[in-house]
Structures are given as C-alpha cells and as structure tokens.
Amino acid sequence: MRVEALLRDAAIATAPPPALPGAFAQALDGVNDALTGASRAEDAFAAGRGSLQDAAYERARADIAISVATAVAGRTAQVVQSLLSMQV
C-alpha cells in the first residue's frame, strides 16, 4: 500500500473589503453625482436643449439614490443603537 501526503488547497484570493469611511464617501459622492445630473438635465430642458424624458429620468434616478441612502443611514443608526445598548 502506498500512502501519499495530502496537499493543501490553494488559498482563494479575495480583494479586501473597502474601508468603511472610504465606502461611505463613495456612496455619498454617487448620490451627489445623481443630484447634479438631475439638475443639469432639468436646466437643459428649461433652456430648450434637453427633453422632458431625460429630465424626468434623471430626477427619478436621484430620488431613488436619496431613498436608498436614507434607508441605509436609518438601518445603520439602528445597528449602532443596538450595539450601544448591549450589556457587556
């Protein structure tokens, strides 16, 4: 009988998660970009250079971005409150 040593599996290379402050800043920048795009599209429509469809679409995107950011902020506040209320 021949016994061979087991070989270890190769480690799975994964990217490290982004730092929380950096990820939060990127998310806020995304919301800001959506709001800026909506304002530009509305200004273009008012000046006669853009369409109402583009203005409405960009505003809807900005509204969704704000809704998601608000929900995430609320959920984060709940989690922090739960952690702070835990007895150690």
* Residue of higher predicted confidence among 17 and 54: 54
Q: What is the pLDDT of residues 57-66, one digit of tens each?
A: 999 999 999 9
Name the pTM for this structure. 0.67
> What are the domain boundaries of the chain?
20-83
At residue 18, the pLDDT reads 63
In angstroms, how far is CA 86 from the centroid of its own chain?
Answer: 28
pLDDT at 39 over 90: yes
**Which DSSP string corresponds to 3-53?**
--PPPPPPPPP-PPPPPHHHHHHHHHHHHHHHHHHHHHHHHHHHTTSS-HH
| pLDDT(75) > 70 | yes
